[in-house]
Amino acid sequence: MAKDVPVPSEADADRHRRIADNLGRLQSKVLKEFRKAVSKGFPRECPLCGHHGQFAPAGMPPRLDSQCPSCDSRERHRLFKLWLDRDQRITQAHKVLHFAPEPEFSKLLSRIAGAYVTADLRPRRVDLALNIESLDLADASFDVIIAHQILEHVDHHKALAECFRCLRPGGFLIMTTPIIEAWATTYENPDATSEVQRFVHFGQGDHVRFFGRDIRDDMAAAGFTREEVVSVEPDVSRYGLVRGETLFILTKPAKAATRAPTRKKKG
């Protein structure tokens, strides 16, 4: 174990779990109170359900104005919905694969896409059980892949390469992931192996890194071209978005070979 990695004791880990559980219960209680109390009088608007009013606390540590008390959308969901509405890029011509789908988007996307398939590592309430690091799918089998908040949990080099392989040329991957934009390089730490260590280092017990802005190099190395949709005003204030959060649209070039170029090791 590297000596610069704090190593919580088992007692610390237990205490952390108890605190997290208690905070979770507290948040559910507060959310219920918000549902009753704050439907009016605060200038937020939910583009998913039309709720007008304040949003409720969510996240760890809690963000005080985050979760729609009507449809449970959080900031990144609202950013994605605004892009869907404004860009209108997904149409009946598209076959869409959606990882870890939120129910509100499943309803919407199954209506606007020509074909809509849901997937997750665990086959609960989804069409396919798929590991994004090794997709049991044919090459070029989808037009659109949606994978929000996935890459911070997995080997993102493998995941990007697999999404690239399974997209048809001209198809695109839509994704968000936590990024520390002020960091030039991504932070990983192989010594942070327990749930509580990963919480300390990566902000959540099942995350394995914090991306720096060099995530863009990894997207390019996988073969993708990149568009970025950044949350700015007046959307931030109106829809309650995280300032500067980025939605990535990664396109497999129309003339791309099926597989990404072989990745060079970072020296």
Residue type, 249: I
What phi and psi values does residue 229 have, to the nearest 5 degrees?
-110, 110
Buried b (16+ CB within 10 A) or exposed e, 87-120: eeebeeebebbbbbbbebbeebbeeebeebbbbb
Residues 67/31, Cβ–Cβ less than 8 Å: yes
At closest approach, how far in Å is the CB of 125 from Zn ion? 20
Which residue's CB is nearer to Zn ion, number 223 or number 240? 240
Cis preceding-peptide flag for 61 (omega within 30 of 0): yes
Q: Residue 115 contacts by C-beta under 8 Å, 6 or more apart in sequence?
A: 94, 95, 96
At closest approach, how far in Å is the CB of 243 from Zn ion? 20
Which residue's CB is nearer to Zn ion, number 81 or number 153? 81
Which residue's CB is nearer to Zn ion, number 55 or number 211? 55
Two tokens, residue 104: 């509100």
Which residue's CB is nearer to Zn ion, number 51 or number 156? 51
At closest approach, how far in Å is the CB of 104 from Zn ion? 8
Shortest CA distance to 151 belongs to which of 128, 174, 171, 170?
Answer: 174
Which residue's CB is nearer to Zn ion, number 7 or number 71? 71
Which residue's CB is nearer to Zn ion, number 58 or number 130? 58
Q: What is residue 138's three-state secondary structure? A: coil
At closest approach, how far in Å is the CB of 69 from Zn ion? 8
Shortest CA distance to 71 belongs to which of 92, 93, 47?
Answer: 47
Shortest CA distance to 76 belongs to which of 250, 256, 236?
Answer: 236
At closest approach, how far in Å is the CB of 111 from Zn ion? 17
Sites of contact with Zn ion (CB under 5 A): 46, 48-49, 51, 68, 70-71, 73
At closest approach, how far in Å is the CB of 29 from Zn ion? 20
Which residue's CB is nearer to Zn ion, number 33 or number 191? 33
Taking the C-alpha atoms of residue 206 and residue 97, their distance in angstroms, rounded to an integer, is 23
At closest approach, how far in Å is the CB of 117 from Zn ion? 25
Residue ranges in 117-176 assigned as alpha helix (H): 156-166
